[in-house]
Amino acid sequence: MNTRTVPLLIFLVLFLDQAVKFYIKTNFVLGESIDVFSWFHIVFIENEGAAWGAKLSDLLPISDRTGKLALTLFRIVAIGGISYWTYSSLKKGANSWLLTAQSLILAGALGNIIDSVFYGLLFTDSWGQIAQFLPPVGYEGFFHGKVVDMIYFPLIDTTWPEWVPIKGGSPFRFFDAVFNIADVSISTGVGILLVFGSKAFPKEVENNPESAQQQPS
């Protein structure tokens, strides 16, 4: 990874994420779904908060709009930090494992922040209708857009056996989150850091007489 491939990877992921979201937003009604396979569905939802629709207003005594604004501003600050971290690593000649992970995380974060900042202005709402692109008035104001999600993998969709206490007879579904390409990019980047951390952050070899191997003359 170098000064060309890092921006290229970020651009490709960001372009793919936004292209898919644009297609979903301008071709699907909110809640519409397509069954691709029994274990893979395209489901159009809009996420107002963080992962699994969590909101700051669920945790703090603030309004939904204030919580949404605070979350968006926090994401912007986080993107600034990730951008600086990636730039610094690139300047230091970091290895490809670290730069790939950083690029994926940054691209995913940018993809979702575009939704939050601009989509409220760029589209009409999708309730019972196909959204219009570049309307005279959007469905929300600046910083209050909703993140478009569409990927759904219910890997297990069954019912608890009747003999199971409390849960018996009730539906059981794993994995029931609906997400997008930006989320996949972030998760992949974090996964690289967790699984290949020793390669992403190699330990520096101490250069001292006791640890250095004697070179043949």
Each residue of 111-122: pLDDT tens digit?
999 999 999 999
Give phi and psi for 182, each to the nearest 5.
-60, -40
Q: What is the domain extent for residue 22?
A: 5-56+64-148+177-200
**105 within domain boundaries:** yes
**162 within domain boundaries:** no
Tokens found for residue 20: 């898919």
**Residues whose CB is less than 8 angstroms from the CB of residue 70 and which lie 6 or more positions away in sequence, other chains included:** 56, 62
**206 within domain boundaries:** no
- Mean model confidence pLDDT for the chain: 89
**155 within domain boundaries:** no
> pLDDT value at position 49?
65
What is the residue whose two structure tokens read 């501003």?
Answer: 73
Based on the number of CB atoms within 10 Å of its own CB, is 184 exposed (0-12), middle (13-18) or buried (19 or more)?
middle
**161 within domain boundaries:** no
Higher pLDDT, 164 or 12: 12
**170 within domain boundaries:** no
* pTM, entire model: 0.86
> How many domains in the chain?
1
Asked whether residue 80 carries a pLDDT value surpassing 70, the answer given is yes
**165 within domain boundaries:** no
Angle, CA 111 vertex, CA 106 and CA 117 arms, to 5°: 115
> pLDDT value at position 68?
87
Higher pLDDT, 53 or 217: 53
Q: Is the peptide bond before 133 cis (omega within 30 degrees of 0)?
A: no
> pLDDT value at position 213?
52
Cite the active site residues: 149, 183
pLDDT tens, 43-63?
Answer: 999 988 666 566 666 677 888
Residue 98 pLDDT class (50, 70, 90 cuts): very high
> pLDDT value at position 212?
46
Average pLDDT over residues 69-87: 95
**41 within domain boundaries:** yes
Residue 30 contacts residue 126 (beta carbons within 8 Å): yes
Average pLDDT over residues 204-216: 49
Give phi and psi for 5, each to the nearest 5.
-75, -30
> pLDDT value at position 56?
67
**Residues whose CB is less than 8 angstroms from the CB of residue 99 and which lie 6 or more positions away in sequence, other chains included:** 1, 6, 86, 89, 90
> pLDDT value at position 217?
43
> pLDDT value at position 205?
46
Average pLDDT over residues 20-35: 97
pLDDT tens, 136-170?
Answer: 999 999 999 999 999 998 877 788 888 888 888 88
